[in-house]
Amino acid sequence: MPEKLTVLLADDHAVLRAGLRALLSAEPDIEVVGEAADGQEAVALAERLRPDVVVMDISMPKMDGLRATRQIVARLPDTKVLVLTMHAEEQYLLQVLEAGGAGYVLKNSADTELLEALRVVHRGQAYLYPSATKMLLEAYRKGDRPGEARENNLTEREEEVLKLTAEGYSNTEIAGRIYLSPKTVDTYRQRIMEKLGLHHRAELVRYALERGLLRPEA
């Protein structure tokens, strides 16, 4: 029997946490292992429980979700942070990606998107709500992005895999497009991340934007 996807809920509203726990507990492959009411508690519980995914609010007392995300990502590289928030503004999305968040879901669509988002980030991919990708591309077009593109020694095939990954295609879909096996595509993706010093698919998206591999019309 496969292991369950373990989740830590971090939100300062107890009623919301109870609702999320009920939603997730109804899934046979998901287990809620803990709850935190503030950012400090989220970091402490994440270190103790080592969940697969932390569902993190941004606005919390003691330590906000962005700072908590940075600490969890730095200390627990195998734990993914999925931000669940009411904030749809561009600056929050960019800050979440900058902090190392693996995904971004709006609370008003949690009942339809959260389960898929959890499974997506658990697989090592990024999850953004539908209009978020357009928002990122617009931010890039306006020049609102941190840093300059890194130099790299990627091969032409590696850049092709990078571009398709950043556009949201799965390993299987990429394999079909460039006539490789999904396992080979995954090997390419891991090699790309090692070469670039990246750890999350969201960082690959940002890198592709910086390099000009992903255009606003993509």
Q: Where are the domains of the chain?
A: 5-139, 148-211
- CATH 1.10.3720.10 is the classification of domain 5-139: no
Higher pLDDT, 210 or 22: 22
- 148-211 has the same fold as 5-139: no
pLDDT band at residue 218, thresholds of 50, 70 and 90? Answer: very low
Residue pair 56/101 in contact by the 8 Å Cβ criterion:
yes
148-211 adopts what CATH topology? Arc Repressor Mutant, subunit A (1.10.10)
pLDDT band at residue 138, thresholds of 50, 70 and 90? Answer: low
Q: What is the pLDDT of residues 46-72, one digit of tens each?
A: 999 999 999 999 888 888 888 899 899
Query: Which segment of 13-22, 94-103, 135-144, 182-191 scores lowest on mean pLDDT?
Result: 135-144
Give 24's contacts (C-beta < 8 A, 6+ positions apart): 7, 30, 31, 32, 114, 115, 118
